[in-house]
Structure 1
Amino acid sequence: MKKTYKYYILNIVTAIVVTMFFSCKDNFKAVQKMGISENEPIGIAENINLVHTDSGKVKAILLSPKMLNYQNRDFPFFEFPNGITLDLLDDDNNKNVVVADYAINYSETKLIDLQGNVKITTSTNDTLYAEQLFYDQEKEWLFTNKPVTFITGLDVINGNGFDSNKNFTNAVVLEVTGTITLDE
């Protein structure tokens, strides 16, 4: 009888231990987030001067007074609430300059949302003005469906929308509302 009693106790303890073992979860991410509000950035950087190089050549220089890191979100992003200035250099060191009052870089979709007095000046002095412009980093494509003004050569083109590759070699103003050709 003593042996049977020990046998039951051993079975109960074994069942509890096995149940506890299989009920444990990997909550490492939840533990990391403890004490961090999802509405707050996990990092704040000020006076950003980021230089991106590839094979020893400078490809981009990003300047911004402030960057907020929201990589703790389900849809992570970097926010630049005080705007950016971005110099993009090609292999021949031709520089395109992007300026915006506000920007968000979405990490997962590789999409950059530029807002407020967006201005892009190319190395050939073509200039695009928009209130909002998106840049798809994977496709290297610029686009918007908001009003734009595009100055190229002697033409000033106004429209509602814009599509172009990053080099502006096939820039198209959509829904053109007016074109002005300037005399030299």
Structure 2
Amino acid sequence: MCKERIPYNMKNNNITTIPLIVVMFLLLSASCSKEKQETVEVVFDPENTYTMRTLDVSTLVSDSGMTRYRATAKEWLMFSKAAEPYWYFPEGLYLERFDSLFNAEATVKADTAYYYQKKELWKLINNVEIQNMKGEFFETSLLYWDGKEDKIYSDKFIRIVQKDQVLTGIGFESNQNMTKYIVYESTGVFPINETPKDSIPPEE
């Protein structure tokens, strides 16, 4: 029986092809093993990383089924994972309180504001201006509004414009409606037409 002969050149090609494939595989494996891998570590800081961000906020708040408040802010950041969860208004906050006819009867404005949810505590900073339901005007650089204690207070310079006079002092305490208050360390009582031009420095 005659055996089929494999041509020499074909036999030689088979012999050289197998090592070539092996070398290519080894080179490819080596190049892959040396490939530079980059990893990015993301560090989550709950105290300084917000969980929600809202822009151009204008929201109505109801009380006992009645719309009583409106809050307006350019930016609202929520830090709900912080040890003490809080809201932050870095570009200011403006609040209005409405009467039963939806007329603004009191307003609150500040350059910066924080709200600590568990404590129910507002912290208003820089150019804080409040007008109460009696038409009196309050101006200070720092103000705290404690919802649990039903009081508003500050230990900074306070200027209160009443109908016929202006009161100034260092520190004050008031009820939530700003209708009953005490001014500490009084620095003066002036007739309305002799209002001192006191400058209230920004809170650092």
TM-score for both structures, normalised by structure 1: 0.76
1:137–1:91: structure 2 CA closer, same or farther, 3 Å change rule? farther
The structure with the larger Rg is 2
Match of 2:45 in 1: 37
3-state secondary structure, aligned to 1:178: strand
Match of 1:25 in 2: none
Q: How far apart, CA to CA, are the structure 2 residues paired with 1:84 and 1:35?
A: 30
Sequence identity of aligned pairs in percent? Answer: 25
Q: How far apart, CA to CA, are the structure 2 residues paired with 1:42 and 1:173?
A: 39
| 1:139-158 equivalent positions in 2, closer than 5 A | 139-158=149-168
CA contact (8 A) 1:36 1:42 kept: no
Q: How far apart, CA to CA, are the structure 1 residues paired with 2:61 and 2:124?
A: 19
Q: Compute the displacement of 1:55 (Å).
A: 2.8
Match of 2:187 in 1: 177
Are 2:58 and 1:49 equivalent residues in the alignment? yes
Q: Compute the displacement of 1:104 (Å).
A: 0.2
Match of 2:83 in 1: 74
Q: Compute the displacement of 1:94 (Å).
A: 5.7
CA contact (8 A) 2:133 2:177 kept: no
Match of 2:92 in 1: 83
TM-score for both structures, normalised by structure 2: 0.69
Q: 1:103-125 deviations in whole A, cap 9, x for unaligned?
A: 00001111100000000012322
CA contact (8 A) 1:150 1:173 kept: no
Match of 1:166 in 2: 176
Match of 2:145 in 1: 135
- State the Cα RMSD in Å: 2.0
3-state secondary structure, aligned to 2:118: coil
- Specify which structure has the higher proportion of strand: 1
AA in 1 matched with 2:86: F
Match of 1:124 in 2: 134
